[in-house]
Amino acid sequence: MIKKNSKTFDPNKAKSELIDKKKTLMNYMFQKSSGQLEKTSNIKNIKKDIARLKTLIAKNIGEKNA
C-alpha cells in the first residue's frame, strides 16, 4: 500500500497499484460467484484499498493544480 506522505508520492506507482487492486477484485468476484472464495471479507478490504488509492491520486492532482 502506498504511504500517505505526499512528498514521496509517485502517481505512476499509485496508478499501477490501482490497476493491480482492480484485477484482484475481479478475481475475487469470480471466485465468489463460483463458490471458491472462503474469505468474502477480502472483497470489502480490496474495495476500501481502491477507494484510498483513488483518494490519494485525486488529492495529489488537486495539490498540483492549486
Interval 15-66: pLDDT, tens: 999 999 999 999 999 999 999 999 999 999 999 999 999 999 999 888 777 6
12-65 carries CATH number 3.30.70: no
Burial level of 5, CB count in 10 A (0-12/13-18/19+)?
Answer: exposed
Q: What is the pTM of this model?
A: 0.82
For the chain, domain boundaries: 12-65
Distance of CA 19 to the CA centre of its chain: 7
